[in-house]
Every structure is written in structure tokens, then in C-alpha cells.
Amino acid sequence: MTTDRAMTPSHARALRTPCPTPTLAMARASAPGTLNTAAGGALPSSEGTLDALFTRAAERRPNAVAVQDARGELSFAEAELQATQLASVLVHGGVQLGDPVIIHCDDHQQALVAQLAVLKAGGVCVPAAHGHNRAQLRAIAAISGVSTVLCSRSTRGAWPRRYSVLPLDDQGTTRLLTVHRREPALPLSHPREVAFLMLFGGGPEGPVGYLTDHRAWRLATAQRIRAAGPAPHRVFVAGPPADPRALSAMWWAFACGGSLRALPDTGAPAARDGMPCAAVFSPEEYDAVMATLPIRPRLVQLLGGPVPAALVARHFAALPGTRLRADFAPVDGALPWTSREVGPTGEAVSPGALGTAVPHVRVRVLDRNGRHQEVGREGELCAAGDALPFDAVRRPGHSAPAWEESALLRSRVSVRRTADGGFELAGPA
């Protein structure tokens, strides 16, 4: 095993192993900390959570649209009220601090309310994007050890009776939320506790779940706000609810005081009111929708894997006035390791450029023995930092390879460090 002390996270956390009654919990940091905001100030620990961010937005603009999708609009005030009611039901139903709860909804409105409720209850959101097959759902359930699922009526049938399942669009659930007493202790979240468990397909060892706290998401969002420039009033997504791009876009939108919008169907363009908008896609999603894109965003933010040169050329041919940024997020698909502003092809930039490390992320290029590689030498891109997942969870009975017992996250992507401090692909991704 190789451990690079410089890569060790600045704050220690401890994972409580899943018990026979399936649960995943994180120990609270011994001393509450503070969270630095994009403006350089500090928020008290009780205010540095994702759900607190949304609550403040709801207090400032209660009637503004938080989410719009094919089913209509949901205001900040409505989402806040529904999430508080649902969080109370979860707490009184036995969900404890650190318990994982799967979110498997078929629209963005329900997915938002479910996430807020789990976070307010002090639980861990385990996203299961709408469209996952049964094998993927079984992997998510096995890795997280969940017993509670928040879903839609359309996804209810995917979960056997051994799970406690609550369809959010069911009339019985609506009545339950309306009459249930509010838990006075809410919210129960804390910046240094786990907010999300994100599943990654993994390598030979199989799927892996990556744990991220509230602070990591807030730091990643603050970095995007700094890099993206003027705040968008709307952030569009094309993927299913609760997938990595939707989560990243949602928290970016709320931090900017804007709203999350599902990309309209082709032939049904979004309203043009002069307000700046942005869109978040994976490179694969953008390749599929670019030719029929029904909006004209100020910024297209790509998130996930490397960006092919052909996709860059198509973008600037179709949208010459639209900025293009690329964040490389090789593990969970949501929290970036590196970032870059993408210019038209033909500029003096390597087609495989990944950009430079984002703030609060420490990146290394290591050989197969874990040794640091110099500029120009090929190796695996590895990273750690406060703006990244801090721990991994595997299926029961599947232990981590010895190399992965260090503090490093492994990308399984071969890169080279460039002379300017950036990184570029050393071969096909």
C-alpha cells in the first residue's frame, strides 16, 4: 500500500459499518467547523448544509420557481413545506442520523422534495436515477444497505416488500404528509456529515459507492460559480432526475438564486425572456441533443468524462456565441477533479486536455506502484480533497484492493501532467 501524506484529507471521518439492520452512518466531526463561501466569508456550521442553502433561497424568494419539468412548476415555498413535512415523517418513522435513503423518482420535482427531506432528517441521499435497470438498483441497495425508499408510483414496483417504500405522488402519502405533526428538531443535517452516496460502475472489483459530505458539494458549487461568471437564472438538464448532472445542476442553480429546468422536448422551445440560462450535460448527452437543442444557453457546462474534439467543433459551429466549459468528474460524475474553458478546435490546446485541478482538490499522476510521475510521464490520475468524495463503500464481502486503502481516489484514466500544470489524456479514455 502506498500513502501520500500530502493527499490525506484535512479532517478525519469514520465510517460505521452497516449493521445487520441495514444502515450506513457517518460519525459527526468532533468539533463543528465552518464553511467558506464563494465570497470568502464563513457560515456557521448549522447553516453550511445543502438544505440550509435551499431554505434561505425559499425565505428570500418563496414564490419563485425552484423546478420546472413536464409536470409543471414547483415553487421554493412549496418545496420547502413538502420537504419539511416529509422529513418529519421520516424521522418519526425511524430514520436516524446517517441512515441511507434511496431516491428513485420519475420527475425532478419529487426528486428535489425527497432529497431535501432526507437531508433535513440528517440522512444520506442515495440517488437511483429513473431508468436504472434492476441489476443497477440491486447494486445500489446492496452497497448502501438501505431499508427506506422514496419513489414515484411508476417506480414503486422495482422495490420488493422488504423495503419501506413511500411513493410521493400517491394520494395516501399526500394525506399522511398533510396531517403529520412537524418534528421541531429539524433540520438535523451538518456540513461535515454525509449528504450523498453516489454509485460508480467501478472496475474489476465491481460497483463502488462514494460518500460526499455537504461541504464537498458546497465547495464544488462555489468553484463553478467563480468559473462560470454571471449567475444563470435557469439551469437546464437533459438527463433523468437524480442523476449526477441533474444533482450538480440543481445545487448550482439554487446557489445562484435560479431554478432547475428540464430540457423541453424538441419543437417546444423554452420561454425566451432575456434571462441568461445555462445547461449541464455529460459529453454523451450533449452529443445526442446538440443538433435539436431547443434552447440557446449562454453557457454549456459539460460534466463527466473527457470531451472529444469533434464535439467541440460541432458546438462552436452550431452555437458560436455560447461558452463551453468542461469539468472532468471520473468517479461519481458530479464533483469535478479538473476543469477548463474549452475554445474552438484549432487553438493551441491538446485535444485530450483535461484542464487544471479545481480548488480544494489535490491531483497526482501515479504509476501502478503508486509512485509520483514527473511532467510528461504517463500514469493514472488520482486525487483527494475536501471538494471530493472522502470514502468508498462496497458490497458486503467485497474488500477494497490494498492500493485503494490510501486516501486517494483512483480514476482508472491514464494521463500526463503538462508543463503548465494541467493534465491531458495519454491515450483513449
Mean pLDDT, consecutive 10-residue stretches, the chain (429 aa), reads 32 32 36 38 61 96 96 97 97 95 96 98 95 89 94 95 95 93 94 93 75 96 93 93 95 96 72 77 96 93 93 94 95 95 70 91 91 92 95 72 64 92 82
- Residue pointed to by grid coordinates 491538446: 350
The secondary structure of residue 153, as a DSSP letter, is: T
At residue 291's C-alpha, the angle toward residues 354 and 201, to 5°, is: 45
The whole-number pLDDT of residue 351 equals 67
Measure the CA–CA gap between 302 and 340, rounded to whole angstroms: 10
The whole-number pLDDT of residue 1 equals 30
The whole-number pLDDT of residue 40 equals 41
SS3 assignment, position 144: helix
DSSP string, 269-311: PPP--S--EEEEE-HHHHHHHGGG-----SEEEEEES---HHH
Beta-bridge partner residues of 281: 302
Tally of CB atoms within 10 A around 94 = 11
The whole-number pLDDT of residue 428 equals 58
Residue 257 cell numbers, joined: 438564486
Residue 217's H or E segment, with its range, is helix 214-228
- Residue pointed to by grid coordinates 430514520: 95
Farthest CA pair distance, the chain = 64
- Residue pointed to by grid coordinates 458546497: 218
Residue 363, amino acid: V
The whole-number pLDDT of residue 231 equals 86
Measure the CA–CA gap between 19 and 108, rounded to whole angstroms: 32
Residue 397 cell numbers, joined: 464481502
Residue 136 cell numbers, joined: 443497477
The whole-number pLDDT of residue 345 equals 66
Cβ-in-10-Å burial (0-12, 13-18, 19+) of 277 comes to: buried
**Minimal CA–CA distance to 68: which of 101, 105, 124, 112?**
112
Measure the CA–CA gap between 328 and 395, rounded to whole angstroms: 26
Q: Directed axis angle between helix 50-60 and helix 76-92, to 10°?
A: 140
* Confidence (pTM): 0.86
The whole-number pLDDT of residue 219 equals 96
Measure the CA–CA gap between 385 and 360, rounded to whole angstroms: 6
